[in-house]
A and B are shown apart, each in its own frame.
Chain A
Amino acid sequence: MERVLTRNIANDPKPINIIAYEANEGYQGLKKAIAELSPEDCESIVKDSKLRGRGGAGFPTGMKWSFVPKGDACSPGHKYLVCNADEMEPGTFKDRLLMEFDPHQLIEGMILSAYTLGADIAYIFIRGEYVVSIQRLRNAIVECYEKNYLGKNILGSGFSLEMYVHPSAGRYICGEETALINALEGKRANPRAKPPFPQVSGLWGRPTIVNNVETLCNITHIIHRGADWFQTLGRGEDSGTKLFGVSGKVNNPGCWELPMGTPVREIIEDCAGGMQPGLELKGFLPGGGSTDFLTNDHLDLAMDYNVIGAAGSRMGTGTMIILDDQTCPVGMVLNLIRFFAQESCGFCTPCRDGLPWTRQVLEDIYNGRGQKEDLETLAYQVRYIGGIGNTHCALAPGAMEPLQSALKYFYSDFEKLIEGSGSHKLIGARG
């Protein structure tokens, strides 16, 4: 398979500078766009590529971009491009790799995206803990200014772009795109009501596009090599490649670039080396902590957005978390709910008050104080907190996804703990 996003990231990766990046076709896409393609051409290419956003929701990137007012339709003033590098979804570890080891790929994708959208200011909103990425991105940006890939009148094109790295002060909700915009404005990161959508009125009330790191890295290659080429990369219905990851008790946890549509089994067995000795696979979250569990019955599914969606879960970030047969599913869900309860921004009642209540019920069950009625309570909470439209943003429904599917697939583990015959204290996740 052709490596695209990781072509500069070897198995034992070293960070690369602009010279090494350019030696491997780097900034060819930018030069091509400036010489041959109008912003409208670029937008059509991105639309035709059928690229879907890699931040979790899989929204078609070309369509998202089409909502940004352009040319005369846009009132005078700044337009913003924001790279979402917050990566705080539990179990997700792909954007870090792209930024630490090939920062120029992301920056080139951002310059091309800004050119397409007519944005003149770009931010990389990155979690503060990613100190290595922050440093390497900043160095790479300096290199780009020296080459006039950034700054005024880029390569004589008349297009200008300023780019800044903006470390977050830390909170999961900052990854939600409208909350992120509030954080960039120096406020509390409560999500905003939509409409107006950020594409029309985002940062400082101006048109703003927020895209994930991996999405923007793809733009680099789509513009350089075209929409048709990009579509040939996928094995199933979605186009392109994807960084897939596996964590949990497998032999070889890690992150790999594979075609979209690669079956789950290949990722877990061939790349991650299967389960550690003595352990069996019991379930997995396909794409981070806010996706529904799938089980052994789903190993032959293709990692495509619609396929995983039809099975009752979400592709999410494509980084799977494996539940083995010696780890307590109730404990795993409790760990996730604790996280979501803590990271709730506090704006709406079902999330602010409901999630700690769910946590309490799960804690009781996990610690052997559960009652039969608790299972009904959990089902009620799933409906109430997880109901679309009951909360202001997707954090609360996302929090309910692992719980609702655990109740579906691992109901007997909940029951056993309530009846007092559960044994997680002996063989739980303690080591």
Chain B
Amino acid sequence: MKGSVILTDIDSFLSEEELQAIDAELEHVPYKSGAAIDALKIVQSQRGWISDESLAAIARHLEMSIDELEGIATFYNLIYRRPVGERVILFCDSVSCWICGCEKAKEKVSDVLKIGYGETTTDKKYTLLPVPCLGACDRAPVMMVGDELITNLDDAKIEATFNRASSREDC
């Protein structure tokens, strides 16, 4: 599949806004491929993830091969090559959180949202991913929900986090 995406309208795939943001990054780099990661992040911030079409269009814009850009896109944890929910849950599974019971907390998150690692809720609100140490080990176990850091996780806190989130979105 990879490398064989055929886009008839590849030149118009990226939006004006995306192109402008990418071109602004190009001013800081001596050659175009130097902006590869920035470009991936820009497109991801607009579309939520990097589809094969996005990858092909960015590669073309930066004059790189699709394979080369794919090698970069798949290397980094925060570039998503599959669709994710509205908010990504980055759940710390590193050592201090493990000592403080993150496996139990993770089961609770999975219970409440009915998803495991790498999965997205059916309403597409959340995707659950493991992440290395979030640098908040003194408040373990911890997770990020979107941009928000949630610390000292226990059952009550996990329930409150996701119930609060769903009631906020309902109103």
Which residues of chain B have C-beta atoms less than 8 A from A87's C-beta? 135
The verdict on A21 contacting chain B, using a C-beta distance below 8 Å, is no
Which residues of chain A have C-beta atoms less than 8 A from B95's C-beta? 90-91, 289, 321, 332, 335-336, 339
In this complex, the member of A169, A172, A188 whose beta carbon has the largest number of chain B beta carbons within 10 angstroms is A169
**Distance in Å from the Cβ of B43 to the closest Cβ of chain A?**
12
The B-contacting residues of A in range 40-65, CB under 8 angstroms, are none
The verdict on B109 contacting chain A, using a C-beta distance below 8 Å, is no
Given A88-B132, A129-B134, A169-B78, the answer on whether A183 and B37 have CB atoms closer than 8 Å is yes
Which residues of chain B have C-beta atoms less than 8 A from A15's C-beta? none
The verdict on A398 contacting chain B, using a C-beta distance below 8 Å, is no
Query: Are the CB atoms of A131 and B147 closer together than 8 Å?
Result: yes
* C-alpha gap A234/B153 in the complex (Å): 37
Query: Are the CB atoms of B135 and A95 closer together than 8 Å?
Result: yes
Q: Mark A77-103, 1 if CB is under 8 A from B, else 0.
A: 000000000011111110110000000
* C-alpha gap A331/B95 in the complex (Å): 10
The verdict on B99 contacting chain A, using a C-beta distance below 8 Å, is yes
Given A186-B34, A339-B94, the answer on whether A430 and B135 have CB atoms closer than 8 Å is no
Given A186-B38, A189-B75, the answer on whether A90 and B133 have CB atoms closer than 8 Å is yes
Q: Of the candidates A129, A164, A255, which one forms a contact with B144 in the assembled complex, judged by CB atoms under 8 Å apart?
A: A129
Which residues of chain B have C-beta atoms less than 8 A from A69's C-beta? none
Query: Are the CB atoms of B94 and A91 closer together than 8 Å?
Result: yes
Q: Mark B111-153, 1 if CB is under 8 A from A, else 0.
A: 0000000000000000000011111111110001001010000
In this complex, the member of A95, A204, A345 whose beta carbon has the largest number of chain B beta carbons within 10 angstroms is A204
Query: Are the CB atoms of A204 and B135 closer together than 8 Å?
Result: no
A-B contact count (CB 8 A): 136
**Distance in Å from the Cβ of B116 to the closest Cβ of chain A?**
16
- Which segment of B13-21, B100-108, B161-169 sits at the interface? B100-108
Query: Are the CB atoms of B33 and A186 closer together than 8 Å?
Result: yes
* C-alpha gap A130/B56 in the complex (Å): 30
A162's nearest neighbour on chain B, judged by CB, is B28
**Distance in Å from the Cβ of A369 to the closest Cβ of chain B?**
19
Query: Are the CB atoms of B75 and A431 closer together than 8 Å?
Result: no
B139's nearest neighbour on chain A, judged by CB, is A253
In this complex, the member of B41, B134, B144 whose beta carbon has the largest number of chain A beta carbons within 10 angstroms is B134
The A-contacting residues of B in range 47-100, CB under 8 angstroms, are 71-72, 75-79, 90, 93-96, 98-100
A88's nearest neighbour on chain B, judged by CB, is B132
Q: Mark A238-277, 1 if CB is under 8 A from B, else 0.
A: 0000000111110001110000000000000000000000
Chain A contributes a number of interface residues (CB within 8 A of B) equal to 55
B134's nearest neighbour on chain A, judged by CB, is A129
Query: Are the CB atoms of B131 and A129 closer together than 8 Å?
Result: yes
The B-contacting residues of A in range 167-181, CB under 8 angstroms, are 167-172
Given A128-B78, A188-B72, the answer on whether A431 and B99 have CB atoms closer than 8 Å is no
**Distance in Å from the Cβ of A231 to the closest Cβ of chain B?**
29
**Distance in Å from the Cβ of A122 to the closest Cβ of chain B?**
13
The verdict on A185 contacting chain B, using a C-beta distance below 8 Å, is yes
Which residues of chain A have C-beta atoms less than 8 A from B37's C-beta? 169, 183, 186
**Distance in Å from the Cβ of A247 to the closest Cβ of chain B?**
4
Query: Are the CB atoms of B98 and A429 closer together than 8 Å?
Result: yes
**Distance in Å from the Cβ of B86 to the closest Cβ of chain A?**
16
**Distance in Å from the Cβ of B129 to the closest Cβ of chain A?**
10
**Distance in Å from the Cβ of A79 to the closest Cβ of chain B?**
15
Q: Mark B16-38, 1 if CB is under 8 A from A, else 0.
A: 00000000000011100111111
Given A90-B94, A253-B138, the answer on whether A321 and B132 have CB atoms closer than 8 Å is no
The verdict on A323 contacting chain B, using a C-beta distance below 8 Å, is yes
Query: Are the CB atoms of A171 and B76 closer together than 8 Å?
Result: yes
Which residues of chain A have C-beta atoms less than 8 A from B98's C-beta? 331-332, 335, 429
**Distance in Å from the Cβ of A214 to the closest Cβ of chain B?**
13
Query: Are the CB atoms of A88 and B101 closer together than 8 Å?
Result: no
Query: Are the CB atoms of A169 and B40 closer together than 8 Å?
Result: yes
The verdict on A364 contacting chain B, using a C-beta distance below 8 Å, is no
The verdict on A374 contacting chain B, using a C-beta distance below 8 Å, is no
Query: Are the CB atoms of B94 and A335 closer together than 8 Å?
Result: yes
* C-alpha gap A129/B36 in the complex (Å): 20
Which residues of chain B have C-beta atoms less than 8 A from A129's C-beta? 78, 90, 131, 134-135, 144
Query: Are the CB atoms of A170 and B140 closer together than 8 Å?
Result: no
Query: Are the CB atoms of A319 and B76 closer together than 8 Å?
Result: no
Query: Are the CB atoms of A245 and B138 closer together than 8 Å?
Result: yes
**Distance in Å from the Cβ of B118 to the closest Cβ of chain A?**
13
Which residues of chain B have C-beta atoms less than 8 A from A90's C-beta? 94-96, 132-133, 137
* C-alpha gap A367/B35 in the complex (Å): 45
Query: Are the CB atoms of A321 and B137 closer together than 8 Å?
Result: yes
The verdict on A343 contacting chain B, using a C-beta distance below 8 Å, is yes
Which residues of chain B have C-beta atoms less than 8 A from A116's C-beta? none
Which residues of chain B have C-beta atoms less than 8 A from A167's C-beta? 41
* C-alpha gap A76/B28 in the complex (Å): 18
Q: Of the candidates A204, A254, A431, which one forms a contact with B104 in the assembled complex, judged by CB atoms under 8 Å apart?
A: A431
A187's nearest neighbour on chain B, judged by CB, is B72
**Distance in Å from the Cβ of A351 to the closest Cβ of chain B?**
15
The B-contacting residues of A in range 323-375, CB under 8 angstroms, are 323-324, 327, 331-332, 335-336, 339, 342-343, 345
Would you list 21 pairs from A and B whose C-beta atoms are within 8 A, ordered by A residue? A88-B135, A93-B137, A129-B134, A131-B147, A167-B41, A170-B77, A172-B132, A186-B33, A186-B38, A188-B71, A189-B76, A247-B100, A247-B137, A248-B99, A253-B139, A253-B140, A335-B94, A345-B75, A429-B98, A429-B100, A430-B104
The 5 closest A-B pairs by CB, nearest first: A170-B77, A169-B76, A247-B137, A170-B78, A247-B96
